[in-house]
C-alpha cells in the first residue's frame, strides 16, 4: 500500500512510465505485444532469421480485419472494427446485446456484405468486391467453420453422420478416419450411432464442434455456443473447447456476452460498444488495465472511488496513490512518477475486489453493508468512512455480519485512474448495472 511516507521514492521520470492515462486517450488500436519486434537486438545468424519471421508475422498476420463497416439499411452496426489473430489464437467479441457482435461474425463469414474495410485470412483478401459479386470469396469458399447457438444438428442423422456432413469430397476411407478422429477428440466415440436428441446439451455442443472442425477450417466461428447450457456447465465446457482448439491449432473467434466464457476460452478479447472494438487485449490486460471506464465496468467487478490530484499523486479515501512505473531500479525497488494532471483535477479510481485485502490487524476499517456467498469466497460490499463503497473478496471462513466493521488493507499500486471528465456516468452500483443490462436486453 502507498501512503505519504512513500513520497520520497517518487521520481519524476514519466518517460519510462506505464502511460495508462495516455493509453486511455488513444483511439482503440490493435494491441499485440506478443509479436512486436525488438529493434535493438544484436543480429546474429539465426536471430536475424527469427527477427525476419517475427516481423513477417506482425506485418502479415494469419487473420486480420481492418476498418470493417457493416450495416443494415440506414443503420451502421459494425463501425470500423479492426483486429488481428495469429494462427492458433482464439479471439472473442464480448459485449452487451445488440452491440454488433453477431453482425461482425457474419460479415467475417461472408453472410453479411461489408460496406468497407478489409478481411484477410491466410494471405487471401476476402473482401475485395468484384464487378459481379459483393464478395471476392463466397461464404462457402472461405474455409470457415461455424458453431451456432442452437448447434443446428441434423436430427435425423447419427452423430457420426452429422460429423461427416462437410466431408462429402473426401474419400470414404479418409472420411471414416476423420470422423473417428473427431469423435475421439470430443470424447463421443461410444455415442457415434446415437441421434442428437439422445444426447445431453453439452454432448450436442461437442458434436457441433466436431462437425465444424472435421473439414479442418482455416477459421472457426463460434456464435454464443454455450448459451443453451446451464451456467455451471458453460465454464467447464469452455475450458474443454479451448483445450480441443489448442490441440488442433485452430484459429477461432467466439461471440459471447458472458465474460467468464470469454476469459475461459479466448487468448484475446475485444470489448465491443456500439459496433466498435473499444479494447482488444488479453483477459488479464482487460481486467487490470482497462482502457476506459466502459471496459472497466463491463469486465469484472469493482468500484470507482473519488480522488483528486495533489502534487502528482491522487488523494483518495483509501489513501494516497502514487503512479507506479513498470520498471524497477537496479535494486529491484519499484519506481514512481507523477500523474500528468494539474493540481486539483478530479479523478476516478478503479478499485477491484482483489485490491481490498481483509486484514484483522489493520487500523483502517470499513462497514460491511452487503455480502454475497460464493463458496470459496464472500464478496463483501464495504462502506468507507466518507460513505463511498468498495468491494472486497474474502475467503469464506471469514464470516462477518452485515453491520460489523472489518479491517482492510487497500493495495493501491495497480489501480487504474481515470480523469473524471472522460467518464460519462459513474454508475457502479449493482442496481444501475443490472438495470442497464435489462434495458439492453
Ligand atoms: N438482419 C437484420 N436487419 C436489420 N437489423 C439487424 C439485423 N440483424 C441485426 N440487426 C440489428 O443490428 C444490431 C446489432 O445486432 P447483432 O445481432 O449484431 O448484435 P449482438 O451484439 O450480436 O446482439 P446479441 O448478443 O443480442 O446477439 C441490433 O440493433 C439489431 O437489431
pLDDT tens digits along 314-323 = 999 999 988 8
Per-residue pLDDT band for 219 (boundaries 50, 70, 90) equals very high
For the ranges 206-220, 390-404, 425-439, which has the lowest average pLDDT? Answer: 425-439
DSSP 266: -
Residue bearing the CA closest to ligand 1, atom 2:
72
pLDDT (tens digit per residue) in 322-353: 887 777 788 888 788 888 888 998 988 999 99
- C-alpha R_g of the chain: 25
43-53 burial, b at 16+ Cβ within 10 Å, e below that, comes to: eeeeeeeebee
Q: State the DSSP H helix or E strand holding residue 27, giving kind and residue range, or none if neither.
A: none
Nearest-CA residue for atom 17 of ligand 1 = 102
Other residues' Cβ atoms within 10 Å of the Cβ of residue 42: 6
Which residue has the least CA distance to atom 24 on ligand 1?
Answer: 97
Centroid of ligand 1 to alpha carbon of 103 (angstroms): 6
Nearest atom in ligand 1 to 112's CA: 1
The mean pLDDT value for 137-150 works out to: 83
**pLDDT at residue number 44:** 38
Question: What is the whole-number distance in angstroms between the Cα of residue 32 and the centre of ligand 1?
Answer: 28
User: Which of the four pLDDT bands, split at 50, 70 and 90, describes residue 135?
Assistant: low
Candidate from 95, 97, 103 with most ligand 1 atoms within 8 A of CB, to mutate: 103
pLDDT of residue 423: 52
**Residue 56 has what pLDDT?**
54
Residues 376-418: pLDDT tens digits? 899 999 999 999 999 999 998 878 999 999 999 998 877 888 8
- Which pTM value belongs to this model? 0.76
- Looking at residue 329, its pLDDT comes to 81
Please tell me the distance between residue 134's alpha carbon and the centre of ligand 1 in angstroms.
21
> What does the pLDDT read at residue 408?
96
Distance 286 CA to ligand 1 centre (A): 25
Residue 7's pLDDT is 35
Residue nearest to atom 29 of ligand 1 (CA): 98
Range among 128-132, 226-230, 419-423 rated most confident = 226-230
Among protein residues, the one whose CA lies closest to atom 26 of ligand 1: 97
CA-nearest of 195, 98, 109, 120 to 151 is 195
Whose CA is closest to atom 6 on ligand 1? 72
> Residue of the nearest CA to atom 10 in ligand 1?
72
Other C-beta atoms lying within 10 Å of the C-beta of residue 192 = 16
Residue 221 has pLDDT above 90, yes or no: yes
Express as a percent the part of the chain with pLDDT over 70.
Answer: 80
Q: Using an 8 Å Cβ cutoff, are 89 and 267 in contact? A: yes
pLDDT in tens, 301-312: 889 899 999 998
pLDDT the model gives residue 31: 30
Structural contact between residues 53 and 362, judged by C-beta atoms closer than 8 angstroms: no
* Phi, psi for residue 259 in degrees, rounded to 5: -70, -30
pLDDT for 441 equals: 44
Mean pLDDT of the chain: 79
* Structural contact between residues 110 and 142, judged by C-beta atoms closer than 8 angstroms: yes
Residue 4: per-residue pLDDT: 35
Pocket of ligand 1 (CB under 6 A): 72, 77, 95, 97-103, 257
Q: What is the DSSP string of 106-144?
A: HHHHTSS--SEEEEEETTEES----SS-S-SS-GGGS-E
Q: Which residues have C-beta within 8 Å of that of residue 438, sequence separation ≥ 6?
A: none
Q: Supply the pLDDT for residue 367.
A: 96
**Probe ligand 1: pick from 74, 77, 277, max atoms within 8 Å of CB?**
77
Reported confidence tier of residue 162, pLDDT bands at 50, 70, 90: very high
CA atoms lying within 13 Å on the CB side of residue 50: 12
Residues 101 and 272: their CA atoms lie apart, in Å, by 7
The tens digit of pLDDT for each residue in 49-101 reads 445 445 555 568 999 999 999 999 889 999 999 999 999 999 999 999 899 99
Nearest CA to ligand 1 atom 20: 98
Distance of CA 422 to the CA centre of its chain: 22
Predicted confidence at residue 263, as pLDDT, reads: 92
Q: Which among 333, 410, 308 has a CA at the least distance from the CA of 10?
A: 333
pLDDT at 47 over 50: no
Question: What is the 93 CA–ligand 1 centroid distance (Å)?
Answer: 14
Per the DSSP assignment, residues forming a β-bridge with 277 are 272
Ligand 1 midpoint to CA 100 (Å): 6
As a whole number of angstroms, the distance between CA 429 and CA 391 comes to 11
User: For 23-44, what is each residue's pLDDT tens digit?
Assistant: 333 333 333 332 232 333 333 3
Domains annotated for the chain, with CATH where assigned, are 4-16+292-440 (no CATH), 56-288 (3.40.50.300)
Report how far apart, in Å, the C-alpha atoms of 160 and of each of 56, 132, 145, 199, 201 are: 40, 39, 17, 13, 17
Atom of ligand 1 lying closest to residue 104 CA = 18
Neighbour tally for 230: CB within 10 Å: 9
CB count, 10 Å around CB of 267? 18
Residue 213 has pLDDT above 60, yes or no: yes
More confident residue, 314 or 3: 314
Amino acid at each position: 500500500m502507498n501512503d505519504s511516507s512513500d513520497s520520497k521514492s517518487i521520481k519524476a521520470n514519466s518517460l519510462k512510465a506505464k502511460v495508462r492515462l495516455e493509453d486511455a486517450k488513444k483511439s482503440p488500436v490493435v494491441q499485440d505485444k506478443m509479436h512486436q519486434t525488438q529493434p535493438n537486438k544484436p543480429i546474429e545468424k539465426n536471430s536475424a532469421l527469427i527477427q525476419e519471421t517475427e516481423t513477417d508475422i506482425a506485418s502479415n498476420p494469419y487473420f486480420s480485419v481492418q476498418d470493417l463497416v457493416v450495416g443494415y439499411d440506414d443503420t451502421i452496426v459494425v463501425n470500423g472494427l479492426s483486429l488481428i489473430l495469429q494462427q492458433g489464437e482464439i479471439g472473442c467479441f464480448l459485449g452487451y446485446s445488440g452491440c454488433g457482435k453477431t453482425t461482425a461474425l457474419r460479415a467475417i463469414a461472408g453472410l453479411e456484405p461489408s460496406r468497407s474495410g478489409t478481411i484477410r485470412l491466410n494471405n487471401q483478401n476476402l473482401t475485395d468486391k468484384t464487378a459481379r459479386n459483393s464478395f471476392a470469396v463466397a461464404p462457402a469458399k472461405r474455409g470457415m467453420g461455424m458453431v451456432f447457438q442452437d448447434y443446428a444438428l441434423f436430427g435425423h442423422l447419427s452423430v457420426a453422420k452429422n460429423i461427416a456432413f462437410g466431408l462429402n469430397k473426401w474419400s470414404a476411407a479418409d472420411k471414416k478416419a476423420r470422423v473417428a478422429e473427431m469423435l475421439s477428440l470430443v470424447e463421443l466415440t461410444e455415442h457415434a450411432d446415437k441421434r442428437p436428441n439422445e444426447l445431453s446439451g453439452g454432448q450436442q455442443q461437442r458434436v457441433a464442434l466436431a462437425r465444424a472442425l472435421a473439414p479442418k477450417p482455416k477459421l472457426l466461428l463460434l456464435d454464443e455456443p454455450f448459451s443453451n447450457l446451464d451456467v455451471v456447465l458453460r465454464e467447464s465446457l469452455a475450458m474443454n473447447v479451448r483445450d480441443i482448439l489448442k490441440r488442433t491449432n485452430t484459429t477461432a473467434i467466439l461471440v459471447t456476452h458472458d465474460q467468464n466464457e470469454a476469459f475461459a476460452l479466448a487468448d484475446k478479447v475485444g470489448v465491443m460498444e456500439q459496433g466498435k472494438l473499444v479494447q482488444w487485449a488479453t483477459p488479464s490486460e482487460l481486467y487490470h488495465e482497462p482502457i476506459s471506464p466502459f471496459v472497466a465496468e463491463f469486465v469484472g467487478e469493482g468500484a470507482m472511488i473519488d480522488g483528486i490530484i495533489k502534487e502528482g499523486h491522487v488523494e483518495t479515501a483509501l489513501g494516497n496513490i502514487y503512479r507506479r512505473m513498470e520498471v524497477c531500479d537496479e535494486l529491484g525497488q519499484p519506481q514512481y512518477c507523477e500523474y500528468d494532471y494539474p493540481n486539483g483535477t478530479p479523478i476516478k479510481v478503479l478499485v477491484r475486489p482483489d485490491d481490498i485485502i481483509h486484514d484483522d490487524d489493520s487500523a483502517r476499517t470499513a462497514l460491511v453493508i452487503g455480502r454475497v456467498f460464493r463458496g470459496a469466497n464472500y464478496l463483501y460490499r464495504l462502506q468507507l468512512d466518507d460513505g463511498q463503497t468498495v468491494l472486497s473478496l474474502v475467503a469464506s471462513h471469514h464470516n462477518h455480519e452485515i453491520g460489523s466493521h472489518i479491517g482492510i488493507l487497500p493495495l493501491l499500486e495497480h489501480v487504474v485512474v481515470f480523469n473524471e471528465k472522460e467518464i460519462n456516468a459513474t454508475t457502479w452500483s449493482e442496481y444501475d448495472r443490472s438495470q442497464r443490462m435489462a434495458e439492453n436486453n
